[in-house]
Every structure is written in C-alpha cells, then in structure tokens.
Amino acid sequence: MSATTWLADGLKGRHVLLALVGFFGMIFVVNGIFVYYALSTFGGGETVDPYRKGLNYNETLAEAARQDQQGWSAQVIYGADKARLVLNLSDGEGRPVSGLHFKGFVSRPATDRQDEPVILKEVTSGSYTADVRLAPGQWVIELGSGELSRDGAPSYRLKQRLFVPETP
C-alpha cells in the first residue's frame, strides 16, 4: 500500500499557476469588498457646496473673529435620562446670554443617515434646551442663533463634538 500525495510527482508549473491565480483572485475579491463598502457608506464631503463656501472663506474668518471678540462661552450637555440637549451660554463676565433662538443639527461625524434638526428654546436665562434622543457614540452639534448681528451674520454659531456614553 503506497501513500499518494497531491505533489507526488513534484511541483509542476500548473501548481504554481493555480496558486498564483488563487492568491491574486482572493486579493481582488477582498479589495472589491473594501471598495464597495468605502463608496457606499460615506461620500467624503462634509459640506453641501464646498466651492462656494471656499470663495467666502475670508468672510467666514471675519465672522469667527467677531464671535471671539464677544467673549461668549458655551457649554453643551446631553442628558440621556431625559433625552435633552442643553446649551448654557454666558458672556465674558460669566453672565447668562438670553433672548436668542437657536436652531441647527445633530449628526454623526461619518454619515448623514442619523442627521436630525433641532430647535433650542430658552428655559431659563442663558440656558437653551431641545428634546432629542441620541444613540450612544460620537455626535456633532451644529447650532446657530436666528438673531443677526449688524452685518447680517448670525450673532452666535457653535460646532462641537459630543460623546454620548452607553447607559447601563
């Protein structure tokens, strides 16, 4: 009784060819899967019209400088137990800033599938809230006041990341 093996006659050219075709075939399949998921999950652009926004970049910088000169500070808090987003806004001397109306979006950093508009209403002086349920993970909060400054720009804008932990 003799034992036969797959390479009993030695390594031939067809064995090497089959191994190479199998190896590179597997690489093409895996790369195809990666390309499919990369293209179908995130388009890559964060803004709707980046070219036009780029043309107005100097105005954007001037608006940010005006906002910094105001000296206002903002604190964003999310209470998962009440599903409430809270913005506390104070001026440079620590006094609450009241009388503004904020609206904007909460969104995931890497997809637009869970974007949700929010409108914050002032509940106490300098404290603005909106009822919104956020799943655990990273979120981007973008808010702007509806009131306009002298030159027609919103009087305050905020873009901040927020991490919502998993609740036990």
As a whole number of angstroms, the distance between CA 148 and CA 159 comes to: 18
Per residue in 33-59, pLDDT (tens digit) is 999 988 887 666 667 778 888 888 888
pLDDT, residue 46, reads 67
CATH of the domain at 142: 2.60.40.10
Based on the structure, what is the number of domains in the chain?
A: 2
Residue keyed to tokens 């190479």: 20
Residue 2 lies in a domain: no
Whether 92 and 156 map to the same domain: the answer is: yes
State phi, psi for 145 to the nearest 5 degrees: -80, 150
Among the listed residues 73, 77, 119, the one whose alpha carbon sits nearest the alpha carbon of residue 94:
73
pLDDT at 1 over 60: no
Rounded CA separation 164/79 (Å): 9
Q: Does residue 28 register a pLDDT over 90?
A: yes
> What's the token pair of residue 97?
């800033």
Residues 14 and 70 in one domain: no
Task: Tell me which residue range forms the domain holding 15.
Answer: 8-41
